[in-house]
């Protein structure tokens, strides 16, 4: 006989309270977790210059490195750095800042992440004498940062057996750079994810192994987009292998709109050029922070270089002015602020300029047409202006004193040597030293060490590093010594 | 009753949503001119053969190992103009979602360069001599067969380019990616005949036109024929139309409009051949649009001017060559004019195979039964056009824009005009075709050297269908006469 069904016992009051309480706690947790793990908030700056130096391009969203890992790496893996901290790779730290110039921070999915921005390649350092304090100058080519060295540091870390959550979490705790939850997330998930990313980054950037070492102030601009498009880099024709070139200055963009931009003049649109460069900061079409990049771009429209801070011999400079007008102005502009001249911003064919052609050849027609696919999801932003050229573009010379070493590959240390025929230019000189050489106009290039810091010897006999070209009568290398000196004095006024 | 209304309302909403996401046709933005429309305009192939845009974009990035070199789709030799989102011969059109299909220009726009450092000059209507269609088809086949063709892998790559809405991501994941994969796999089975072991490759600038027609439009069994043939030029078609004149290499078609219609149907252009005449009205509309587009193309290509020779011509020498071309001094054997000048007795007509003596494989791919079935098929779709035929020989085309039509003969087996005037035994037996730097001395593209080897595809004339024999007219002229004749041919 079946048992009598029991009438259900009414829930006791206290049990109902427990349910309510648990429900509320869960709801609060869900809201809190949603708020925390869907966050996307960059660190912002009031001043435009600080925004340029530290503001986000959106690159952290897809490429960001957790801030606390970034801070821990130099502590944990000093053996992969040439000296103490990222300073030893030439990163510039302002007093009181924990991140160097050119590194931005954004909280993505509850974790502070950092990545590079425009300033890492476009802020440099100048010292008057070895004893002087450095001045950091925005918009000039970075003359100290060794980006390739940084990439190789990360690659080495990725393969190190000590790159584990258990090794990193205690360092984060000691440095106090993240809270308990993030620390544990990094310990059990973050480090493994980052290792995967770094290993694939190492694979992606292995094309650099076929090039001479870049050293500070240089990178390869147009092989990375091929990697971005997953081109078969192993099948790249040898003439495309070497694309190393100097970072450029980025002042006076308003005056540059419509000029043939990039060293080989492959694009006439400042905006497209900016978006193209933003790939280098990790920003993809869906992750680009448009408002932030627009703010930087607008600020750069009229950003100007600082005047030459050392004495200028006015009489001598005025003698140089007509020399400049006769030899240089047609290609390089009437002055440092007036870029008039029928060939300014136009490509000079390689057969005429005769400088090292590797950078030109590294940019291929196949890449050029494929770039038409980039930003296709955002029709107003799609790349439409990339072209394959056959030479190098004539640049305006604003702030030319800060743009040493010279030529697109930074193969000539100073203006004096640029006015000498290639046979008299220094075959191997040192890059990365920021003390200024007022006599030759450029950075001091014959110092190999300062304290324990070694500078980078640029061997101009290597492919891509050639210091020839831009020479002959038309290029001023046959001028008299007096005329050259006058011309250089005049160029200081730019 | 209330439930019924709700149900009907929901069904309507689902219907509208489905229509919007899968069938809504958005006209392409207007083109600057007919040339641009020829290069990038839709011929209606997106309905049946359209690949979802984002899948098309990421395939070369997900499967670089199946791409023959660095360069995305450019690596297949297609013409791609700087600043354009897609190569020439591709059309982008939204039918529910953006799709990519091909148009006539994939085979009929070519390029030339004066030197290695020159940029490609794009010639509308020229044979696409650099494009390797077969390798592009095989690429798609390989992708579809590979386990990486899955939603996770493709979406990861797609989301590096665009932020899809939740709904679109679901559509890509559960509909477009699996459906595209199975459609490409089905296409691979339909194309299996061209991948038989040891079978001749099309290579650059060629396809196997009549086998494609036969196997797609008729129920003819796969046979042992191979008919790889050059893409022809399609400019100035007004001189190709007329009573008793024929088109296609073996004079398989009697009218320009028939060639246009059959070629477009081959690219998958609507109307869908499986749809019978008496179905829904919008199919009629689509058919009307298609026939109208074909007529527009007919009009455009009829008057499209052939490209002028871009290098210097020695006028005095050319004048001497004209006399040789006209044949007055060399007797009938050297009389080019009677077979190649518009309006002449033998131009645009059949030259019997016994007379012309060129490789017969292309001719043998077509047969009367296939012609009859293809004609019947087109009629079923509801399109009226002059019927295809079967003939035994090759067509004698007019020579307008001849300089840009290298390599020569129907199978592209002779690299330059200078080689065509040489006795068969002296013609090159292996050369690289599909490199677009021009050789004004020999009149044709450069086919030797490192650059040609890198960019070109090697045609071996000993392979079946690639024979370089026949058309020995003028091969016995004196060297001086040949040089003069070559100079004159540049002016055509």
User: Whole-angstrom Cα distance, residue B284 to residue A326?
Assistant: 72
CA distance B341 to B322: 12
Q: What is the pLDDT of residue A15?
A: 85
**Does the pLDDT of residue A430 top 90, yes or no?**
yes
Q: Is residue A386 part of a domain?
A: yes
Of B91, B47, B104, B23, which Cα lies nearest the Cα of B272? B47
Residue with tokens 């019978």: B276
Task: Flag whether A23 is in a domain.
Answer: no
pLDDT (0 to 100) of residue B280: 46
Chain A hits for B162, Cβ within 8 Å: 285-286, 376-377
In angstroms, the CA B137 to CA B184 distance is: 9
pLDDT computed for residue B278 by the predictor: 45
pLDDT in tens, A299-315: 999 999 999 999 999 99
What's the pLDDT tens digit per position in B395-435? 999 999 999 999 999 999 999 999 999 999 999 999 999 99
Mean pLDDT of the A144-155 span: 96
In this structure, what are the phi and psi dihedrals at residue A340, rounded to the nearest 5 degrees?
Answer: -70, 145
For the record, the structure tokens of B60 come out as 């070369």
* pLDDT tens for each residue of A49-108: 999 999 999 999 988 999 999 999 999 999 999 999 999 999 999 999 999 999 999 999
Asked whether residue A298 is assigned to any structural domain, the reply reads yes
For chain B, which residues lie within 8 Å of any Cβ of chain A, measuring from their own Cβ?
57, 60-62, 64-65, 67, 69-75, 80-87, 117, 119-120, 159-163, 454
The stretch A336-353 carries a mean pLDDT of 97
Residue to test with chain A: of B117, B130, B436, most A Cβ within 10 A? B117
* Residue A26 domain-assigned (yes or no): no
Residue B216 pLDDT:
87
3-state secondary structure of B449: coil
> Domain for residue A19, yes or no?
no
Q: What is the pLDDT of residue A62?
A: 87
| % residues pLDDT > 90 (chain B) | 82
As a residue count, chain B comes to 492
**Residues B183-242: pLDDT tens digits?**
999 999 999 999 999 999 999 999 999 999 999 888 899 999 999 999 999 999 999 988
Residue in A62, A226, A376 nearest the CB of B70: A226
Full 3-state SS string of chain B: CHHHHHHHHHHHHHHHHHHHHHHCEECCCCCCCHHHHHHHCCCCCHHHHCEEHHHHHHHHHHCHHHCCCCCHHHHHCCCCCCCCCCCCCEEEEEECEEEEEECCHHHHEEEEECCCCCCCEEEECCCCCCCCHHHHHHHHHHHHHCCCCCHHHHHHHHCCCCCCCHHHHHHHHHHHHHHHHHHHHHHHHHCHHHHCCCCCCCCCCEECHHHHHHHHHCCCCCCCCCCCEECCCCCCHHHCCCCCCCECCCCCECCHHHHHHHHHHHCCCCCCCCCCCCCCHHHHHHHHHHHHHHHHHHHHHHHCCCCCCCCCCCHHHHHHHHHHHHCCCCCHHHCCHHHHCCCCCCCCCEEEHHHHCCCCHHHHCCCHHHHHHHHHHHHHHCCCCCCCCCCCEEECCCCCCHHHHCCECCCCCECEHHHHCCCHHHCCCEEEECCCEEECCCCEECCCCHHHHHHCEEEECCCCCCCCCCCCCCCCCCHHHHHHHHHHHCCC
- For residue B328, pLDDT beyond 70: no
Disruptive mutation site among B69, B83, B98, B121 for chain A (greatest number of A CBs within 10 Å): B83
A465 close to A356: Cβ distance less than 8 angstroms: yes
In the predicted structure, residue A488 carries a pLDDT above the cut 90: yes
Distance from CA of A13 to the nearest CA of B (A): 40
Cβ separation B71–A236 shorter than 8 A: no
Partners of A285 on chain B (C-beta within 8 Å) are 160-162
Computed from CA positions of residues A429, A434, A437, A440, in that sequence, does the dihedral angle turn out positive or negative? positive
- Partners of residue A369 in chain B, C-beta under 8 Å: 74, 80-82, 84, 87
Residue B277 predicted with pLDDT over 50: no
Mutate which of A260, A377, A386 to test chain B, going by most B C-beta atoms within 10 A?
Answer: A377
With CB atoms and an 8 Å threshold, state whether B82 touches A372: yes
**Residue holding tokens 């100079």?**
B487
Confidence of residue B444 (pLDDT cuts 50, 70, 90): very high
Which of B39, B57, B72, B114 should one mutate to test binding to chain A, selecting the residue with the greatest count of A CBs within 10 A?
A: B72
So what's the pLDDT on residue B333? 53
Q: Which residues of B touch A62 (CB under 8 A)?
A: 160
* CA–CA dist A445, A430 (Å, integer): 5
pLDDT-derived band at B289, boundaries 50, 70, 90: confident
Report if residue A29 sits inside a domain. no
Q: How many CB atoms lie within 10 A of CB B443?
A: 24
- Is B82 close to A364, i.e. CB distance below 8 A? no
Instruction: Look at residue B330 in the predicted model and tell me its pLDDT.
Output: 54
Question: Is there a domain that residue A230 lies in?
Answer: yes
Contact A405, A357 (CB under 8 A): no
Q: What rounded mean pLDDT belongs to chain A?
A: 95
Numbered residues of chain A with Cβ closer than 8 Å to any chain B Cβ: 62, 226, 229-233, 235-237, 284-286, 364-370, 372-374, 376-377, 382-388, 390
Task: Indicate if the pLDDT at residue B282 is higher than 60.
Answer: no
Chain B residue with Cα closest to A390: B117
At residue B329, does pLDDT exceed 70?
no
Q: Helices A481-491 & A314-327, crossing angle to 10 degrees?
A: 100
Domain count of the fold of chain A: 1
What is the model's pLDDT at position B276?
47
High-pLDDT (> 70) share of chain A, %: 98
Give the number of beta-carbon pairs within 8 Å between A and B.
87
Question: Residue A361's closest chain B neighbor by CA?
Answer: B117
pLDDT of residue B279: 46
Subunit contact B74:A236, Cβ cutoff 8 A: no
Domain range for A368: 40-491
From first CA to last CA, the distance across chain B in angstroms is 78
pLDDT band at A1 (very low <50, low <70, confident <90, very high): very low
What integer pLDDT is reported at residue B1 of this predicted model?
Answer: 80
Q: Do B87 and A369 touch (CB under 8 A)?
A: yes
pLDDT value at A412 more than 50: yes
What are the structure tokens assigned to B85, written together?
A: 């989102």
Q: Which residue of A has its CA nearest to B116?
A: A390
CB-based contact A237 B163, cutoff 8 Å? no
Which residues are CB-contacts of A20 (< 8 A; sequence separation ≥ 6)? none
| Residue from the list B75, B81, B85 with its beta carbon closest to the beta carbon of A373 | B85
Q: Model confidence at A10, in pLDDT bands (50, 70, 90)?
A: low
- Mean model confidence pLDDT for chain B: 92
With 70 as the cut, is the pLDDT of residue B270 above it? no
Yes or no, beta carbons of A232 and B65 under 8 Å apart? yes
A229–B72: do the CB atoms touch at under 8 Å? yes
Considering only CB atoms, A366 lies closest to which of B70, B119, B161, namely B70
* B13, B21 contact by CB (below 8 A): no
Q: What is the pLDDT of residue B273?
A: 45
A222 located within any domain: yes
List, for residues A439-474, the tens digit of each pLDDT value: 999 999 999 999 989 999 999 999 999 999 999 999
Asked if the Cβ–Cβ distance from A383 to B83 is below 8 Å, we say yes
CA within 13 Å, CB half, A318: 2
Rounded mean pLDDT of B11-37? 92
Does B383 have pLDDT greater than 90? no
Q: How confident is the model at residue A8 (pLDDT cuts 50, 70, 90)?
A: low
CA torsion sign for A443, A448, A449, A454 is positive
Report the DSSP beta bridge partners of residue B229: B207
Determine the pLDDT at residue A481: 96
Mean pLDDT to the nearest integer, A396-404: 98
């Amino acid at each position: 006989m079946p048992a009598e069904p029991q009438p259900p016992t009414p829930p006791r009051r206290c049990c109902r309270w427990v349910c309510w309480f648990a429900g509320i706690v869960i709801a609060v947790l869900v809201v809190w977790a949603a708020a925390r793990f869907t966050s996307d908030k960059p660190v912002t700056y009031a001043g435009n210059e600080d925004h340029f130096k530290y503001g986000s391009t959106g690159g952290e969203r897809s490429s960001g490195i957790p801030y606390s890992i970034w801070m821990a790496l130099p502590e944990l893996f000093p053996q992969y750095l040439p000296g103490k901290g990222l300073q030893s790779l030439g990163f510039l730290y302002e007093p009181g800042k924990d991140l160097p110039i050119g590194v931005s921070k954004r909280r993505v999915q509850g974790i502070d992440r950092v990545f590079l921005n425009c300033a890492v390649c476009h802020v440099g350092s100048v010292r008057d004498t070895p004893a002087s304090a450095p001045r950091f100058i925005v918009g000039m080519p970075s003359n100290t940062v060794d980006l390739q060295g940084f990439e190789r540091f990360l690659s080495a870390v990725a393969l190190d057996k000590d790159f584990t959550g258990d090794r990193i979490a205690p360092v984060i705790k000691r440095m106090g750079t993240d809270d308990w939850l993030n620390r544990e997330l990094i310990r059990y998930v973050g480090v493994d994810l980052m290792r995967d990313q770094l290993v694939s980054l190492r694979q992606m950037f292995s094309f650099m192994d076929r090039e001479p070492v870049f050293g500070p102030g240089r990178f390869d601009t147009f092989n990375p987009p091929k990697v971005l498009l997953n081109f078969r880099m192993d099948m790249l024709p040898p003439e495309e292998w070497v694309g190393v070139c100097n970072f450029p200055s980025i002042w006076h963009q308003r005056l540059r709109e419509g000029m043939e931009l990039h060293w080989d003049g492959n694009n006439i649109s400042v905006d497209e050029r900016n978006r193209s460069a933003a790939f280098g900061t990790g920003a993809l079409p869906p992750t680009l922070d448009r408002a932030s990049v627009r703010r930087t771009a607008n600020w750069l429209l009229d950003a100007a270089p600082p005047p030459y801070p050392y004495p200028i011999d006015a009489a001598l400079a005025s003698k140089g002015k007509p020399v400049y007008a006769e030899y240089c102005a047609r290609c390089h502009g009437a002055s440092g602020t007036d870029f008039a001249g029928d060939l300014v911003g136009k490509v000079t064919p390689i057969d005429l300029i005769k400088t090292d052609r590797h950078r030109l050849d590294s940019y291929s027609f196949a890449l050029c047409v494929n770039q038409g696919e980039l930003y296709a999801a955002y029709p107003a932003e799609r790349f439409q202006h990339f072209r394959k050229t056959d030479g190098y573009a004539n640049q305006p010379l604003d702030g030319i004193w800060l743009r040493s070493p010279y030529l697109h590959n930074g193969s000539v240390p100073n203006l004096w040597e640029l006015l000498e025929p290639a046979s008299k230019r220094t075959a191997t000189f040192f890059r990365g030293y920021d003390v200024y050489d007022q006599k030759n106009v450029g950075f001091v290039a014959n110092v190999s060490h300062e304290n324990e810091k070694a500078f980078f010897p640029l061997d101009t006999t290597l492919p891509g590093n050639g210091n020839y070209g831009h020479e002959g009568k038309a290029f001023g290398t046959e001028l008299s010594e007096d005329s050259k000196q006058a011309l250089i004095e005049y160029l200081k006024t730019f | 009753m209330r439930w019924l209304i709700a149900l009907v309302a929901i069904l309507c909403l689902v219907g509208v949503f489905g229509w919007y996401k899968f069938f809504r046709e958005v006209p392409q933005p207007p083109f600057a001119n007919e040339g641009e429309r020829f290069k990038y305009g839709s011929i209606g192939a997106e309905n049946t053969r359209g690949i979802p845009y984002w899948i098309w974009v990421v395939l070369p990035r997900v499967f670089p190992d199946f791409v023959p070199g660095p360069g995305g789709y450019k690596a297949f030799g297609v013409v791609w103009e700087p600043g354009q989102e897609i190569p020439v011969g591709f059309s982008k059109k939204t039918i529910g979602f953006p799709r990519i299909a091909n148009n006539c220009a994939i085979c009929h726009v070519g390029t030339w360069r004066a030197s290695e450092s020159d940029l490609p000059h794009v010639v509308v209507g020229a044979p696409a001599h650099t494009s390797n269609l077969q390798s592009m088809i095989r690429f798609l086949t390989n992708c579809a067969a590979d386990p990486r063709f899955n939603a996770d892998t493709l979406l990861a790559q797609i989301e590096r380019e665009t932020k899809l809405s939740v709904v679109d991501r679901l559509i890509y994941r559960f509909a477009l990616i699996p459906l595209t994969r199975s459609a490409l796999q089905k296409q691979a089975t339909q194309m299996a005949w061209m991948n038989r072991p040891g079978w001749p490759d099309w290579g650059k600038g060629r396809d196997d036109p009549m086998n494609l027609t036969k196997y797609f439009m008729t129920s003819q069994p796969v046979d042992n024929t191979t008919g790889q043939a050059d893409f022809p030029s399609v400019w100035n078609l007004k001189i190709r139309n007329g009573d008793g004149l024929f088109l296609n290499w073996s004079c398989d078609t009697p009218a320009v409009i028939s060639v246009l219609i059959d070629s477009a149907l081959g690219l998958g252009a609507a109307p869908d051949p499986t749809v019978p005449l008496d179905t829904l009205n919008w199919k009629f509309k689509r058919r009307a649009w298609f026939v109208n587009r074909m007529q527009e193309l007919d009009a455009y290509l009829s008057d499209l001017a052939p490209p002028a020779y871009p290098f210097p011509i020695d006028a005095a020498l050319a004048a001497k060559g004209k006399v040789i071309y006209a044949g007055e001094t060399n007797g009938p054997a050297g009389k080019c004019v009677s077979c190649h000048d518009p309006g002449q007795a033998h131009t645009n007509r059949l030259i019997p195979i016994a007379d012309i003596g060129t490789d017969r494989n292309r001719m043998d791919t077509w047969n009367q039964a296939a012609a009859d079935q293809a004609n019947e098929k087109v009629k079923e779709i509801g399109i009226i056009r002059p019927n295809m035929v079967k003939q035994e020989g090759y067509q004698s085309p007019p020579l307008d824009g001849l300089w840009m039509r290298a390599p020569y003969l129907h199978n592209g087996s002779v690299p330059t005009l200078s080689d065509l005037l040489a006795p068969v035994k002296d013609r090159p037996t292996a050369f690289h075709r599909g490199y677009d730097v021009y050789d004004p001395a020999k009149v044709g593209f450069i086919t030797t050297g490192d650059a040609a080897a890198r960019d070109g595809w090697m045609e071996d004339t000993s392979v079946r269908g690639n024979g370089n024999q026949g058309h020995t007219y003028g091969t016995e002229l004196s060297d001086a006469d040949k040089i003069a004749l070559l100079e004159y041919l540049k002016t055509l």
